[in-house]
Amino acid sequence: MKKQDFLFILVLIAVFLPFFVSDALYEWYKSFNAAHGMVMSFLKFGILATLGEMLGLRISAGVYNRKGFGVLPRAVVWGLLGLGINAAMIIFSKGVPQFMAYMGMTDAGNIINGVFSADKVWIAFAISVAMNTIFAPVFMTFHKITDTHILDCGGSLRSLITPIPMTRIITQLNWDTQWNFVFKKTIPFFWYPAHTITFLLPGEMRVLFAAILGVVLGVLLAVAARRK
């Protein structure tokens, strides 16, 4: 391990350790999260998902940051994407049980918020499949577009105010990797089961767990970047 690896680990410890050693801090987190869920979503994804992308860069290029990578604009974009993810989780976690109730599973809304059971696992899986099939491909593609735009702007903060040339970027994306790896492999084999676990958790923990999965996303994107 290099010095930069130890520094990265120290940052992770600094982010998570206080919640394990301080009950007061954890209680503050829960109350603030309940009152300001969207603000916390911005912060969770802005910090954790960006750390995930830095870890992905470490895997693919041997460094956590480099010229043109754009840590700050990536953090801002991830924060904004986190708002959309939180909204999607609310919409699908409420809407899918209602649809299942419409289809005959009349108590689905209470089951998903109740004690652990086989029916709860089934509903959580249904929510995950719906969200990752309908929402995730659009989200992943837009995220790839914003990544490309940040790189095109040299990683500077002006990328946040410069119009995105959507037509040019979207036509130049590596659709072979996007379809055959990101969509066909990561969604069914990772995101379906991962978000099934997410929706089994209490509501206040779901966005945090999803943000932690953003670290895993960074690794997956690094693997995708290494594929030809």
The ranges assigned to domains in the chain are 36-226
pLDDT at 213 over 90: no
Helix extents (H) in the chain: 3-21, 23-35, 37-44, 50-61, 71-102, 108-112, 118-134, 136-152, 166-172, 175-177, 192-200, 203-226
Amino acid (one-letter) located at 15? V
When pLDDT is cut at 50, 70 and 90, the band that residue 59 belongs to is: confident
Chain segment 83-127, per-residue pLDDT in tens: 999 999 999 999 999 999 999 998 999 999 889 999 999 999 999
pTM metric for this prediction: 0.87
Chain segment 131-172, per-residue pLDDT in tens: 999 999 999 999 999 999 999 999 999 999 999 999 999 999
Cα 39 to the chain's mean position, in Å?
15
pLDDT at 228 over 80: no
Q: Give the pLDDT confidence score for residue 223 in this predicted structure.
A: 66
Mean pLDDT computed over 39-47 = 91
Top pLDDT among 199 and 33 is at 199
Q: Give the pLDDT confidence score for residue 95 in this predicted structure.
A: 96
